[in-house]
Amino acid sequence: MIAHAVPEGFVSLPRSSPLLDLLGPAYCRGEGLQLEIALRADNRHANGRGTVHGGVLATLADVGMGYAMAFSSEPPLPLITASMTLDYLGAVQVGEWIVVRLEHHKRGRQMAFATASVQVGEKVVVRASAVFAVPRAD
């Protein structure tokens, strides 16, 4: 594979935000709870040591969990991140393809819970857990 090729099955993420516009382009594959969010790390994402900054990985984990949970229902839920924890398990190098995969989820009337892995290939570099508030329909 060419270093900057987009892996098969991934397409441009159809939804964005000002922050994702700065980080991206972001890509996705699948839908609903199987939605995967991905990004090719570049020099903009590097910290002073030349690896991808943990804040970039945290942002991708938040977006990946939130989008998968939100778009698992119709219409999509306007989830709000209430809490998120991360365990950093490895470094990501500039040029690597980063993928966020939802692992576990549960949604109640007021709260939703998710865990995800952030991976480079088969290597898990971050484990993330989040709690999302489910706004009440007025």
Strand partners, 85: 129
* pTM of the predicted structure, to 2 decimals: 0.90
Say whether pLDDT at 84 is over 80: yes
Give the tokens for residue 47.
Answer: 């910290």
Q: What is the pLDDT of residues 10-32, one digit of tens each?
A: 999 988 788 888 888 999 999 88
Mean pLDDT of 51-66: 95
d(CA 77, CA 97): 28
pLDDT of residue 118: 98
pLDDT of residue 138: 59
pLDDT of residue 2: 42
Q: Is the peptide bond before 25 cis (omega within 30 degrees of 0)?
A: yes
pLDDT of residue 30: 92
Residue with tokens 């804040």: 55
pLDDT band at 1 (very low <50, low <70, confident <90, very high): very low
Mean pLDDT of 42-66: 95
